[in-house]
Amino acid sequence: MSCDYLALAVSGVQKLSPYIPGKPVSELERELGISNIIKLASNENPLGPSEKAIAAIQSALPELTRYPDGNGFELKKALADKLQVNTNQITLGNGSNDVLEIIARAFLDTSSEAVFSEYAFAVYPIVTQAVGAKAVVTPAKNWGHDLAAMAAAITERTKLIFIANPNNPTGTWFTQAEWEAFLAAVPERVIIVLDEAYIEYADSGDAIDGAAYLSQYPNLIVSRTFSKAYGLASLRVGYCASNADIADVLNRVRQPFNVNSLALAAAVASLADADYLKRSRQINDAGMQQLVDGFRALQLSFIPSGGNFVCVDVEQAAGPIYQALLKEGVITRPVSNYGIPNHLRISIGLPEENQRFLAALKKVLGK
């Protein structure tokens, strides 16, 4: 090619590395010519979607020729009721990744800094880099966020702080005392993005509900998703709640029809399906226990997780173990791209899937 198109890209984009998704089942089927594959790689809900969501999608199908409701009225109303905020505080996204990108585009430029932690979710560096802002990465503490170090990393250029609680890929979470000390230390001109993609799995005991802090902290944005506990990863629907002025800014950047009509209908239906959410949590709690017991039996250590996944230390470079598990028809997630070379991240599956993974792990480790 005569022209270097990468060189034409804006400088932040030139330095981007693409997000590496979990391997799709269909891809491994093509590569190995095998069937009966299980995927425990992308923190998806193993139950399949809520039946109420499927019914809602079916009723919405005849209207597919119409643009979706660009204001997402019904979904925002349902979310506002749930979070005890006004609808003008909600911003909808094509997945919460879209929300994170909208936030970065709205508030960061080449003169600004965004703070996030070592081992934090991969999308934070991508959205920061894409707009040419400077990423300030603070060292992790016990695999998790060191909130005090993050507050200390704020400079006059800092515009955003990205935090995941629980974090992906490590599953770590922080205490209410750490969180409240952090909130008190961050100036109002610095926006805190609290990513609660896994909040529905968090134990009600010591879990922090970010939405409860919105009224007191105008610089707080809480993002959530329907991709995990609500089982709608493929539809791409997430949201954030913030003060109304921030939501107004985000709404200026947002693509007018960023959430499609099927996703809107399914999200409203899922939100109302308390029984589905309860079963999702139950299957997750039991599956987490099953995996943790299995790791103990294999004498492998793991990072305790508050999400629907867990990182296990395979005590050697995880890449070849990941490959060997693929040959057993089990897709897991290597996390070496996060700087965690000896762990694999396993999403909690159905009991029989967890069992198959544990048996395959035992086999490939020769334990």
Which positions lie near ligand PLP, rule CB under 6 A? 43, 95-97, 121, 164, 168, 195, 197, 225, 227-228, 233, 238
User: What single letter denotes the amino acid at residue 130?
Assistant: A
Measured distance CA(340)–CA(324) in Å, rounded = 19
Q: At what angle are helices 318-327 and 25-32 packed, to 10 degrees?
A: 70
Q: Smallest distance, Å, CB 197 to ligand PLP? A: 4
Closer by beta carbon to ligand PLP, 22 or else 68: 22
8 A C-beta contact, residue 143 and residue 187:
no
C-alpha distances (whole Å) from 101 to each of 59, 79, 245, 259 are 31, 21, 18, 14
Q: Which amino acid is at 250?
A: L
Using the minimum distance from each CB to ligand PLP, give the nearer residue, 45 or 112: 45
Q: Mark 221-250 as b/e (b = at least 16 C-beta within 10 Å).
A: bbbbbbbbbbbbbebbbbbbbbbeebbebb
Which residue's Cβ lies closest to ligand PLP? Answer: 95
Quote the least distance from Cβ 122 to ligand PLP, whole Å: 9
Please list the residues that pair with 334 across neighbouring strands. Answer: 344
Q: What letter represents residue 252's amino acid?
A: R
Q: In the complex with ligand PLP, which residue's Cβ is closer, 164 or 346?
A: 164
Least Å from the CB of residue 168 to ligand PLP: 3
CB of 37 to ligand PLP, least distance (A): 21
Closer Cβ to ligand PLP, 345 or 356, answer by number:
345
Smaller CB separation from ligand PLP, 122 or 249: 122
Q: How far is the CB of 195 from ligand PLP (least distance, A)?
A: 5
**Closer to ligand PLP at the Cβ: 207 or 233?**
233
Give the nearest distance from C-beta 96 to ligand PLP in angstroms. Answer: 4
Contact yes or no for 235/45 (Cβ under 8 A): no
Q: Is 326 helix (H, G, I), strand (E, B) or coil?
A: helix
Smaller CB separation from ligand PLP, 168 or 356: 168
Q: Where are the beta strands (DSSP E) in 216-319?
A: 220-225, 238-241, 302-303, 309-313
We find the least distance from the C-beta atom of residue 181 to ligand PLP, in angstroms, to be 22
